[in-house]
Chains A and B, each alone.
Chain A
Amino acid sequence: MNWVIVLLLVSGSAWAGEARPMGDNPAIEARLKQLASELRCLVCQNQTLADSNAPQAEDLRREVREMIAQNMSDQEIIDFLVSRYGDFVLYRPPFKPTTVLLWAGPFVLMVGGGVALAVTLRRRQHMIREAMMTEDDRRRVEQLLSQRSKES
Chain B
Amino acid sequence: MNRFLLPLTIFGIIVGFLAVGLTLNPREIPSPLIGKAAPAFSLPQLHDESKTFSLDETKGQVWLLNFWASWCSGCRTEHPVLMDLARSGEVPIYGMDYKDQRGDALAWLDRWGNPYQVVAVDASGRVGIDYGVYGVPETYVIDKQGVIRYKQIGPLDEETVAKKILPLVKELQAQ
Interfacial residues, chain A to chain B (CB-CB below 8 A) = 42-43, 45, 55-56, 59-60, 63, 82-86, 88
Q: Which of B29-37, B105-113, B165-173 contacts A (4 or more CB under 8 A)?
A: B29-37
Evaluate contact between A88 and B33: CB separation under 8 angstroms: no
Residue pair B32, A86 in contact (C-beta under 8 Å): yes
Assuming A55-B99, A59-B124, A59-B125, is B131 touching A88 (CB within 8 A)?
Answer: no
What is the interface of chain A mostly: helix, strand, loop, or mixed? Answer: helix
Q: B32, B33, B99, B134: which contacts A42 (Cβ < 8 A)?
A: B134
* A43-B134, A43-B135, A45-B26 known; A59 vs B129 contact (CB < 8 Å): yes
Across-interface contacts of A55 in B (CB, < 8 A): 99, 125
**9 further contact pairs, Cβ within 8 A, besides A59-B126, A83-B32:** A42-B134, A56-B128, A56-B133, A59-B99, A59-B128, A83-B33, A84-B130, A86-B31, A86-B32
Judge whether B129 and A60 touch: CB under 8 Å.
yes
A144 vs B91: C-alpha distance when bound (angstroms):
99
Q: Given B29, B99, B125, which contacts A85 in the complex, CB threshold below 8 Å?
A: B29
B60 within 8 A of A: no
The residue of chain A having its C-beta at the shortest distance from the C-beta of B130 within the complex is A84
CB nearest to B99 among chain A residues: A55
Residue of B nearest to A42 (CB): B134
B132 contacts the other chain (CB 8 A):
yes
Chain A nearest Cβ from B65, distance in angstroms: 15
15 interchain pairs (CB within 8 A)?
A: A43-B134, A45-B26, A56-B128, A56-B135, A59-B99, A59-B125, A60-B129, A63-B129, A82-B32, A83-B32, A84-B32, A84-B130, A84-B131, A85-B134, A88-B30
Are A86 and B125 touching (Cβ within 8 A)?
no
Query: In the complex, A83 Cα to B132 Cα: how many Å?
Result: 8
In the bound complex, CA of A88 to CA of B132 (Å): 11
Which of A42, A56, A59, A83 is within 8 Å of B29, CB to CB? Answer: A42
Closest to A60 in B: B129
A12 to B85, CA, bound (A): 60
B29, B99, B130, B135: the one contacting A86 at CB < 8 Å is B29
Q: Which of B126-166 contact A (CB under 8 A)?
A: 126, 128-135
Contact A84 B129 (CB under 8 A): yes
Q: Do B30 and A86 touch across chains, with their CB atoms under 8 A apart?
A: yes
In the complex, chain A residues whose CB is within 8 Å of the CB of B131: 84
Identify the interface centre among B126, B131, B132: most chain A CB within 10 Å of its CB: B132
State the CA gap A55–B124 with chains docked (Å): 10
| Contact residues in A for B26 (Cβ distance below 8 Å) | 45
Residues of chain B within 8 A of A45, CB atoms compared:
26
C-alpha gap A45/B26 in the complex (Å): 8
